[in-house]
Amino acid sequence: MTNSYRFFQNKECEYFPCHKAENEEEFNCLFCYCPLYREKKCIGNPVWFLNAKGQKMKDCSQCEVIHRSEAYDKVMQQLQRQDEIISLNIGNLREDIWERMAQIASWEQMDKRTHRQHKGMAVRSAPRPVRGVHRRSIGEILERNKYLYRVSILLQPFSGQCVEDGYFSFGNDKMQCQVLSRIDRRQVETGYLYAFHAPEYEVEESKALLTQYYWEIFQIACLDVVREWLREYLQRKHSMYEKRFCSPAFGAGFYGMELSASEKMLQLMDAEKIGVSWDGGKMKPQMSVAGVYLISRKDILSDCRDCANCIGQQTGCAFCCNNPKK
* Number of neighbouring beta carbons within 10 Å of residue 76: 12
Looking at residue 82, what is its pLDDT?
A: 65
Q: Given CA atoms 280, 282, 285, 286 in this order, what sign does their dihedral have?
A: negative
Dist CA 49 CA 36 (whole Å) = 18
Is pLDDT at 108 greater than 90 in this prediction?
Answer: no
Closest Cα partner for 268 from 184, 172, 187, 199? 172
CA distances from 167 to 95, 100, 231, 268 (A): 37, 32, 21, 15
The DSSP line for 13-45 is: STTSSSS--S-GGG---TTSS-TTTT-SS-SS-
Looking at residue 198, what is its pLDDT?
A: 95
Dist CA 184 CA 170 (whole Å) = 19
CA distances from 214 to 20, 113, 151, 243, 289 (A): 57, 17, 19, 39, 19
Looking at residue 309, what is its pLDDT?
A: 56
309: Cβ contacts below 8 Å, ≥ 6 apart = 254
Dist CA 126 CA 142 (whole Å) = 11
The CATH number of 87-319 is 3.40.109.40
Looking at residue 197, what is its pLDDT?
A: 96
pLDDT digits (tens, 9 = 90+) for 119-145: 777 776 544 544 444 567 788 888 888
Is pLDDT at 10 greater than 90 in this prediction?
Answer: no
Q: Are residues 200 and 228 in contact, defined by beta-carbon separation less than 8 angstroms?
A: no
Q: Answer with the residue of higher pLDDT: 67 or 163.
A: 163
pLDDT digits (tens, 9 = 90+) for 18-69: 887 778 888 888 888 888 887 777 778 888 888 887 788 888 888 888 888 7
CA distances from 95 to 90, 91, 140, 171, 225 (A): 10, 9, 15, 41, 10
Mean pLDDT confidence for 276-290: 91
Among 40-44, 96-100, 161-165, 293-297, where is mean pLDDT lowest? Answer: 40-44
- CATH 3.40.109.40 intervals, the chain: 87-319
107-111-113-116 Cα dihedral, nearest 10 degrees: 20
Residue ranges with strand state E in the chain: 47-50, 56-59, 84-89, 129-130, 133-134, 150-159, 163-164, 167-170, 173-176, 188-197, 245-246, 277-279, 282-284, 288-296
Is pLDDT at 97 greater than 80 in this prediction?
Answer: yes
The whole-model pTM stands at: 0.71
